[in-house]
Amino acid sequence: MAKFEMDTEFVRKLAQILHEADLGEIELADGDRRIRVARPAVAVAAAPVAAAAPAASSPAAPAAAAANDLGRHPGAVKSPMVGTAYLAPEPGKPNFVAVGDEVAKGQTLLIIEAMKTFNPIKAPKAGTVAQILIDNAQPVEFEQPLMIVE
């Protein structure tokens, strides 16, 4: 097996393959080096999105459909990786942002822990935080909508 680099770009590529192939996880090993990228259970990731979305008119409408609609929103801030999202810089500290806060382009909105690395997720534009679609310490998927900045 060819050697692979353990950098965020490589993790993003694996996450994209995971998403495109609709796989639950990918694991690669090279000697004593291992990398595993896995999707969180759909019920865990989709539950907060369903609560933040308008109620579906049909009980058969899945929560994933609500997430897809929010993902198309022009102000959607999506996860660039699979990991665990944290709304605060550390336990006991205030959240980076709250609904209604004005944010500047490039301001940290939350962090995602992936492979023991904390990655800041920054505002793509200046605006107002309209919705926070996740809970603190929630597993998130690649391209999952995290917040709406209008």
Q: How many CA atoms lie within 13 A of 84 on its CB side?
A: 11
The second-level CATH assignment, the architecture, of 42-149 is Beta Barrel (2.40)
What residues does each domain of the chain span? 8-38, 42-149
What pLDDT digit, counting tens, does each position of 110-124 carry? 999 988 889 999 999
The answer to whether the CB of 97 falls within 8 A of the CB of 109 is yes
Adjacency order of strands within the sheet including 117-122: 117-122, 108-114, 83-86, 138-140
What pLDDT digit, counting tens, does each position of 63-107 carry? 555 555 777 778 899 999 999 999 999 888 999 999 999 999 999
Residue 129 to residue 148: CA distance in whole angstroms: 6
Prediction pTM value: 0.56
